[in-house]
Amino acid sequence: MGAFVNGSAGLCLAVLALACSDGEVTQPIPFNHNIHVSKNGLACEDCHEQVFTGPSAGLPRVSVCMGCHDSDITTSQAAAPHIETIRRHSKEGTEIPWVNLYTLPHHVYYSHRRHAKIAGIACATCHGDIGKSETPPRLPIERTLDMWNCIDCHRERGVDNDCAWCHR
């Protein structure tokens, strides 16, 4: 009896602990925003092509990367293997399997065009200063953003919070 009680309690606590920490992801390529944005002064829309034209900003396709990395503009040894990966992908005509972290739940219609272009809100407002980050983010944005962020931001800017504008 006692043993059972102890056992079960211990087990439950263990599972609880396990349940609370969950999946971080690693990108196929540890993309360094800092070098590209801060050092080499690329703009967000250079790689995330549809950020001003479409609902989703879009993850860079191989062709975009190859635009620069076709020639050996990178000298660092650390980056070399990853450059190779990119080239391999472009040779094989496959895309880089980026893990799309910054997707909102599917029942939300969030348009980058609407916010970044029409309303002219800076990317950093939601994405933080990702431009300075050395490694790609590990947590999906759902973990860092929730509806209340949207709602507060909307209220600050005097946008009404009607469900129908965003939910679908």
Partner 1 sequence: MADRDAFTYFRPLIHTSWGSLALLALSAAGAAWYFFGAFYLQFFHGHQLTGQGTHGAMWGSMVANIVQLIGVSHVGIAISATVRILKLRRYQQLARVAELVTLVSLTAAVCNIAGDVGRPDRFLTNVIKNGNYTGPFVWSASVITNYLVGSCVYLYLAMRRDIYLCSCVLPRRRWLYRILSLGYTDTPEERENHERTVWWCAVIILPIMVSVHSVYGWVFGLNSGRPGWFNPFQAPYFVLGAIVTGFSGVIVITALVRRVYKWEEFFPNRMFKGLGIFLGFVTLLYLYFLFSEVLTGVYTAPEAERGVLHDLLFGRFATIAWAATVGGMVVPFFILFVQGANPRICSMRVVVAAALPIFIAMWCWRYLITVPSFFHSHVPYRLAEYAPTLFDWSLVVATYSFGVFFYLSLVKLLPVLEIPEKFKPACPARPPRITLGERRRWGALKRVSIGATLATGAGLIAAGIASRHRVEIPAPAIWISGIVCLWTIPLQACLLPGFPSAGRVRAHMARMEPGLLRAPRPAATAVGLTECAASPATIEYWIDEQFGASRGIRRRPEIRGIG
Partner 2 sequence: MPRWGMVIDLDRCTGCQACSIACRTENNVPACGDRNAWKGRAIFWNKVVAVRMDGHGETAHGPHGAAAAHSRPRFRFLPMPCMHCERPPCTMVCPVRATTKNVEGIVMQVPSRCIGCRLCQAACPYSRRYFNWQEVSFPGDLGQALNPDVALRTLGVIEKCTFCIHRFQKVREQARAEDREIREGEYVTACVQACPARARTFGDLDNPSHAVAKLAQSPRAFRLLHELGTGPQVVYLHEGSWQDDSGLPVRDLLSKEKEDHG
Partner 3 sequence: MHIDRRGFFKLTGGAVALGTVGCKALERGYPEEYWTEKPPVPGAKGWKQGEERFIKSACLQCEGGCGIVVRVVEGRAVKIDGNPDFPTNQGGLCPKGQNGLQVLYDPDRIKGPLARRGARGSGDWTRISWDEAIAQVARRLSGIRASGGSHTLAFLGGRYRGHMHDLVRRFLKAYGSPNDIDTESICDSAGKTAHWLSQGVRERLAYDWDRTRYVLSFGAGFIESFRPTAMMLRVFGQMRSGTPGQRAKIVQIEPRCSVSAARADEWVAVKPGTDGALALGIAHVMIRERLYDEPFVRDHSLGFERWTGPDGQVHAGFSGMVLEKYAPKDVARTTGVEAGTIERLAREFAAQRPAVAISGRGAAAHTNGIFNCLAIHALNALNGSIDRPGGVLVQRHPPFADWPDPELDDAARRGAMRARVDLSDAGTPPLARSQMIGLAGRIETGRPYPVNAVLLYYTNPVFSAPEPARFAEALSKVPLVVSFSPFLDDTSKLADFILPDHTYLERWQIDEPAAGVGFPVFSVRRPVVEPLHDTKSAGEAIISIARAIGGTVGAAFPWGEIDMIRQMVRGVHESGRGSVAAPDFDEFWKKLLAAGGWWDRPYGFGEWEKSLATSSGRYEFFATRFDESLDAAARARRPAAGLAAARAALHADLGISARGGEACLPHFEPVRCDGPESEYPFVLISYKPMTHAEGRGANQPHLQELFGVQFDRCWEPWAEIHPDDAAAIGVRDDDHVRLRSPAGEMRVKVVTYDGIARGVVCVPCEYGHTAYGRWAAGRGENPNRVVGAVPERIAGGVAWYDVRVSLSKA
> Per rule CB under 8 A, is residue 2 in the interface with partner 3?
yes
> Per rule CB under 8 A, is residue 39 in the interface with partner 3?
no
Report, in angstroms and rounded to the nearest whole number, the Rg of the chain calculated over CA atoms: 21
Which range in 23-31, 35-43, 89-97, 159-167 contacts partner 2 by CB under 8 A?
A: 159-167
Residue 112 Cβ vs partner 3, minimum distance, rounded to whole Å: 11
Instruction: Show the binding pattern over residues 77-106: x = contacts partner 2 (CB under 8 A), - = does not.
Output: ----------------------------xx
Among 12, 43, 124, 151, binds partner 3 (CB under 8 A): 12
Q: Which residues bind partner 3 (CB under 8 A)?
A: 1-2, 5-6, 8-9, 12-13, 15-16, 19-20, 49-50, 54-56, 58-59, 61, 93, 95, 100, 103, 105-107
Q: Which residues bind partner 2 (CB under 8 A)?
A: 105-107, 109, 111, 113-114, 117-118, 160, 162-168
